């Protein structure tokens, strides 16, 4: 079980008691500025989770232990288009991912999906993550370091279409890259028999090309799914869907190698 008090370096989710404002901050990182005044995060070191903390303008906040998704959504640097949490968690379901799994992905991008995969394969598993652009990989290294997940990932700068995934044998491969259909022969070399491939496609054209490429190879149980999430306001008297929301992200195509 996690300790119930904040230690220096922990991430805290700071939620305004009355009002909808929230932010994420490192505990023990000194004063941070919010739209409600300054918060001294040093005061949280040793404080129980759920403690009240007051800003320089007298606004009360509750300090909660931040989840991995709070940190990813609020504190990760974004370089390439990232996978949204709703899709990331559905990819976990499509693989049936859990502790001890060995999984590969291309491309790494800013490491948003890498972080979620690494979180779920801990403490014994590993995520082999490949990107052909060093500048993206550098951002991913910084992001994964922010949440102490570097021990569960093996990051490699590599073009998976040209040079494949190396000599790994994995339970699953996730492709979130421009031309996933061109990487499928390489995926087949890296996957264990019965392993899962997941392709994230953002346009109908890419989705169709990916499914066609799977059908031409030894893949069965092909499924195409889309995750639609509608956020609602939680304000009493205003319980209704949010006016503005993300409408389209992409399709999650999954299949098993035989
Ligand atoms: C949309 S981003 C991936 C975002 C990532 N899934 C995330 O959640 O942050 C696509 C990435 O694929 C990489 N990429 C494209 N073609 C590649 C290839 N042939 N081999 C390896 N990486 C590739 C790009 O450099 C880019 O960083």
| 113 and 178, same domain (yes or no) | yes
Report d(CA 164, CA 156) in Å as an integer: 11
Domain that holds residue 49: 11-66
87 and 177 part of one domain:
yes
Same domain, 179 and 211: yes
Q: Is 174 in the pocket of ligand 1 (CB under 6 A)?
A: no
HSE on the CB side for 164, CA within 13 Å? 11
Bridge partner residues of 156 (DSSP): 130
The number of CA neighbours under 13 Å toward the Cβ of 40 is 7
Domain CATH number, residue 24: 3.10.330.20
What's the full length of the chain, in residues?
258
Angstrom distance (rounded) from CA 239 to CA 227: 22
The pLDDT score that the predictor gives to residue 51 is: 97
Q: Specify if 5 maps to a domain.
A: no
CB of 132 closer than 6 angstroms to any ligand 1 atom: yes
Buried b (16+ CB within 10 A) or exposed e, 55-86: beeebebbbbbbebebbbeebbeebbebbbbe
> What is the tally of structural domains in the chain?
2
User: Atom 19 (ligand 1): residue with closest C-alpha?
Assistant: 159
Q: Whose CA is nearest to atom 20 of ligand 1?
A: 159
- Does 163 sit in the ligand 1 pocket, CB within 6 Å? no
Which residues contribute to the annotated binding site for S-adenosyl-L-methionine? 110-113, 131, 136, 159, 176
Among residues 21, 51, 66, which one ends one of the domains?
A: 66
* Claim to verify: residue 31 and residue 88 sit in the same structural domain: no
The pLDDT tens digits of the residues spanning 94-125 come to 999 999 999 999 999 999 999 999 999 999 99
Same domain, 125 and 95: yes
Instruction: Check whether residue 43 and residue 132 sit in a common domain.
Output: no
Please give the number of the atom of ligand 1 that sits closest to the Cα of 200.
Answer: 6
Residue 73 corresponds to which tokens in the numbers above?
């959504």
134 and 169 belong to one structural domain: yes
Q: Which of 73, 80, 162 to mutate to test the pocket of ligand 1 (most atoms within 8 A of CB)?
A: 80
Q: Does 28 share its domain with 108?
A: no
CA distance 137 to 141: 6
| 104 and 118 share one domain | yes
Q: Is the CB of 164 inside a 6 Å radius of any atom of ligand 1?
A: no
- The answer to whether residue 170 is domain-embedded is yes
Question: For 146-189, how does the pLDDT look when each residue is reduced to its tens digit (9 = 90+)?
Answer: 999 999 999 999 999 999 999 999 999 999 999 999 999 999 99
- Is 110 part of any domain? yes
pTM recorded for the entire structure: 0.96
User: Is 237 part of a structural domain of the chain?
Assistant: yes
Among 17-26, 83-92, 138-147, 153-162, where is mean pLDDT lowest?
Answer: 17-26
């Amino acid at each position: 079980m996690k300790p119930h008090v904040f230690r220096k370096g922990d991430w805290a989710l700071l939620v305004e008691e009355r009002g909808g404002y929230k932010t994420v901050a490192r505990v023990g990182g000194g004063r941070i500025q919010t739209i409600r005044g300054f918060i001294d995060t040093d005061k949280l070191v040793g404080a129980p989770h759920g403690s009240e903390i007051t800003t320089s303008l007298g606004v009360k906040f509750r300090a909660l232990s931040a989840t991995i998704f709070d940190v990813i959504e609020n504190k990760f640097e974004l370089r390439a288009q990232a996978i949204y949490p709703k899709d990331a968690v559905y990819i976990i379901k499509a693989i049936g991912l859990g502790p001890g799994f060995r999984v590969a992905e291309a491309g790494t991008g800013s490491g948003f999906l890498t972080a979620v995969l690494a979180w779920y394969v801990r403490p014994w598993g590993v995520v082999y993550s490949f990107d052909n652009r060093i500048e993206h990989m550098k951002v991913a290294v910084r992001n994964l370091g922010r949440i102490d997940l570097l021990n569960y990932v093996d990051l490699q700068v590599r073009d998976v279409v040209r040079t494949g995934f190396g000599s790994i044998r994995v339970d699953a491969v996730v492709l979130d890259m421009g031309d996933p259909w061109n990487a499928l022969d390489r995926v087949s070399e890296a996957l264990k028999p019965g392993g899962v491939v997941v392709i994230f496609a953002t346009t109908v054209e890419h989705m169709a090309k990916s499914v066609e490429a799977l059908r031409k190879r030894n893949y069965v149980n092909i499924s195409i799914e889309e995750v639609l999430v509608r956020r609602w306001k939680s304000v009493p008297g205003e319980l209704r869907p949010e006016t503005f929301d993300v409408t389209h992200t992409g399709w999650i195509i999954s299949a098993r190698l035989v």
